[in-house]
Amino acid sequence: MPVLDEDEELTAVRVAELYYDEGRTQDEVGALLELSRWKVGRLLAQAREQGIVRIEIVHPRARRLGVERALRERFGLADAVVVPAPDDPTDSDDAETLARVAQAAADHLAAMRPVPRTLGVSWGRTLAEVADRLQPGWAHGVTVVQINGGVTLNRRPGTAASTAATIAQRADGQVVLLPSPAILERIQTKRAIEADRVVADALARARSASAYLFTAGAADDRSVLVESGYVSTDDVAELVRKGAVGDVLGRFVDADGNIVDPALDARTVGLGLDGLRAADTAILVVAGRAKHDIARTAVASGLCTVLITDDTTARALLEDS
């Protein structure tokens, strides 16, 4: 498509005004500006091409289909869902962003075909929001398995458990909880708890789930792992020093997706990252500026097949080679 010269550009603007603002038909515009109908059509096409005419869909539940396509192609994803970030560019309006992404995740889950027989889920603020936005009856008879440990140490108890339970309940399904802390103090305790029949059973079912729904955490003090008391702020600082960009299923990884601290990782209960990498369907839900780095790592190192996120994060992923 040839570029418009300056005169044509101005004509294109006038044409676009009459066509889109005034609602004239293409030959009316042609008659008015003494152009052929076809010339008018071509100018309109070029104006859209060059961004003189911008058509945007303004709605919290709108999606960015173009960006989604780019993500799929760039990272070989099976699917991607990108929702617009709130306009408000001043303060980090992360609550609204999270709400939109969570809604999109809920929609995506409800629209999944075939419906997974067993769905493995992690936990955290993001997934709590997703669970909350699922319509009762979003599916029927889905078994939901908690895939990483999460007996909350402080705060209101049961966030981890209730996320899984809510998702299951709203699908008239069973829930399989993983009754274990996320990270244990000593490796021996971890081995012992994994030997427990209930825990072992849950882990087995986690490994055989037909789909996973999980989120990722940034390596900072606002991480749920910190707030829950599993790791201290000092630990986080140390992990960051070693290259950690965030955690997936409680496992801290560096920019390349490698485990940062194998000893810590060995004390972490739940599905391993290879479990995700081997999955047919692994849906990562991630929102907000703080999580750009971990999102990039997760996507680039093949932890997910489906990414659900906000526009800003998506663009951040696409921007660097």
Interface with a second copy, residue 85, by CB under 8 A:
no
- Alpha-carbon separation of residue 221 from 123, 246, 260, 261, 317 (angstroms): 17, 11, 17, 18, 23
Q: CB under 7 A: which stretch of 18-26, 161-169, 227-235, 293-301 binds DNA?
A: 18-26
Candidates 25, 38, 49, 61: give the one binding a second copy (CB under 8 A). Answer: 61
Near DNA by CB under 7 A: residue from 12, 16, 26, 212: 26
Q: Indicate which of DNA, a second copy, none lies near residue 76 (CB less than 5 to 8 Å, by partner kind).
A: none
How many angstroms separate the CA atoms of 318 and 314, rounded?
6
Of 38 and 95, which CB lies nearer to DNA in the complex structure? Answer: 38
Are 298 and 279 a contacting pair, CB within 8 Å? Answer: no
Give the total of residues touching DNA (CB under 7 A).
14
Q: Select 65 or 153, whichever has its Cβ closest to DNA.
A: 65
Instruction: Report CA dihedral (176, 178, 179, 180) to the nearest 10 degrees.
Output: 180
Assess 196 for contact with a second copy (CB under 8 A). no
User: Which of a second copy, DNA, none binds 132 (CB below 5-8 Å, type-dependent)?
Assistant: none
In 3D, which of 258, 51, 218, 236 has the Cα closest to residue 125?
Answer: 218
Is residue 188 a contact residue for DNA (CB under 7 A)?
Answer: no
10 near a second copy, judged by CB under 8 A: yes
Shortest distance, position 302 Cβ to a second copy, whole Å: 27
**Residue count at the site for a second copy (CB under 8 A)?**
24
**Contacts (Cβ under 8 Å, ≥6 apart) of 31:** none
Q: Which residues are within 8 A (CB) of 20 and not within 5 positions of it... i.e. 6 or more apart? A: 53
Per the listing, tokens 């993001």 go with: 126
Out of 10, 20, 22, 38, point to the residue binding DNA (CB under 7 A). 38
Could you count the other beta carbons within 10 Å of the beta carbon of residue 237?
14
Decide if residue 45 touches a second copy (CB under 8 A).
no
CA dist 247 and 290 (Å) reads 12
The position carrying tokens 């990884």 is 253
Q: Does 12 bind DNA (CB under 7 A)?
A: no
Residue closer to DNA by CB (options 31, 259) is 31
How big is the chain by its Cα radius of gyration, in Å?
A: 24
Closest CA to 300 of 263, 269, 262, 258: 258
Binds DNA (CB under 7 A): choice among 39, 72, 74, 315: 39
Instruction: State the binding partner of 57 from DNA, a second copy, none, CB within 5 to 8 A by kind.
Output: a second copy
Spatial distance between the Cα atoms of 163 and 128, rounded to a whole number of angstroms: 5
Q: Which is nearer to DNA, 38 or 221 (CB)?
A: 38
Point out which residues bind a second copy (CB under 8 A): 9-10, 13, 16-17, 20-22, 47, 51-59, 61-66
Point out which residues bind DNA (CB under 7 A): 2, 19, 25-27, 35-39, 41-42, 44-45
